[in-house]
Amino acid sequence: MSSSAEKTPRRRVAILGATGSIGSNAVAVVRAYSDRFETVCVTCRNHGELLQVIANELNARYFYCSEQPGFSNLASESELYSLLAGPEVDIVLCAIQGIDALKEVLTALRAGKTVCLATKEVLVAAGAWVMATARKYGGRILPVDSEHCAVFQCLHREEKRALRRIILTCSGGPFHAHPERDLHTVTPEEAGHHPAWNMGGKITLDSATLMNKAFEIMEAAWLYGVPEDQIEVVVHPQAVVHSMVEFVDGAVMAQLGPTDMKLPIQYCLTYPERCPALMQPLDFTRPMALEFLPPDTRRFPALELARRALRMGGLTGAVLNAANDSACRRFREGTLAFDEIAPAVACALDHTPPGEADSFEALATAAQVADDIVGNYMP
């Protein structure tokens, strides 16, 4: 390790959701760079034994398992929030699944902390609230999603007025390359196999419906302050180009890299520095074909739902997120077909309650409305 790295104080990190897919990769990064990072706290929802192993391995002083109190040395959520807002933590890496991460993210941002954000639902449901909080208190959000980390790098030090469009890439999921496949008969097992990434079950299902990419359209709108018509999606089966940015002069800048989440996690944790890679780099001496195809929005209508939610504003993002959760749950339970997920979500959007996504009460109301509509949805 270089002498400059040795002189730099270690960054004090809290990893929220340490036992999940993203969290496990974050653990691998901080473990490999123990001279750069001090792990202050690790959390999870219900894998207490694994959490304690991780805490011991990383010498984390605090660990908190929300659904198994016996595997915690923090007594309550309030103690966790105090820790995240206090002087012992510099960076909060949020890999908690779903809207449950919102309190932790807002707590860290209100304390002016850097949040490395991997939880899409936080910006989907409450993007205006989260971004306003970051601006007000001087907090900073660094996007861990591979696509948004790519866009962040492509936009680095570029003026916003030079941006023409953001181009998000996606693998297309397991069914995009098979137009003959009857989506009505897709099983949860089939939807659970992603062609490029190794991810958790919920995000893999969202990738199969392209709802994951719909969420990323909304993330991009909030992170970079651009309207939905400046955000495009292209299918890129090789998953080598993680996203692109086109500028007003016609130049296109792309970020390429291996299909490994440790790359964007490492970039965010070490930003603005770059460190040697933990994974094998791309080998450009071997033949490589890169394809870019338009998404089939007729078979996969989720992308338009995100655009509609952004145009409508208010609580539509919260309804979209909650309705998708409910529809995915019904699909896994066998009471909703795969190709009925997006129509059920669209039905919920039609019943979005008035108001803004600026309180937990408003978000809870929107979620209940969405769950009721999807629960009673009949194709």
**Lowest pLDDT segment from 190-194, 246-250, 280-284, 316-320:** 190-194
The CATH classification number of 313-379 equals 1.10.1740.10
pLDDT of residue 4: 44
Q: Which is nearest to 121 in space by CA: 370, 372, 376?
A: 370
CA dihedral 207, 209, 213, 218 (to 10 degrees): -130
Residue 228 has pLDDT above 90, yes or no: yes
User: What are the angstrom distances between the C-alpha of 347 and each of 97, 123, 208, 378?
Assistant: 24, 21, 20, 10
For residue 155, the tally of other CB atoms under 10 A from its CB is: 18
Chain segment 346-372, per-residue pLDDT in tens:
999 999 999 999 999 999 999 999 999
pLDDT of residue 5: 45
Chain segment 75-103, per-residue pLDDT in tens:
999 999 999 999 999 999 999 989 999 99
Contact indicator for 165, 246 with CB cutoff of 8 Å: yes
Contact indicator for 98, 329 with CB cutoff of 8 Å: no
Residue 194 has pLDDT above 80, yes or no: no
Chain segment 42-80, per-residue pLDDT in tens:
999 999 999 999 999 999 999 999 999 999 999 999 999
pLDDT of residue 197: 64
pLDDT of residue 369: 97
For residue 345, the tally of other CB atoms under 10 A from its CB is: 30
pLDDT of residue 6: 53
The CATH classification number of 3-143 equals 3.40.50.720
CA dihedral 43, 44, 49, 54 (to 10 degrees): -50
Q: Where are the domains of the chain?
A: 3-143, 149-258+266-301, 313-379
CA distance 222 to 334: 34
Distance of CA 374 to the CA centre of its chain: 23
What share of the chain has pLDDT > 70, as a percent? 97
Is the peptide bond prior to 287 cis by the omega test (within 30 degrees of 0)?
no
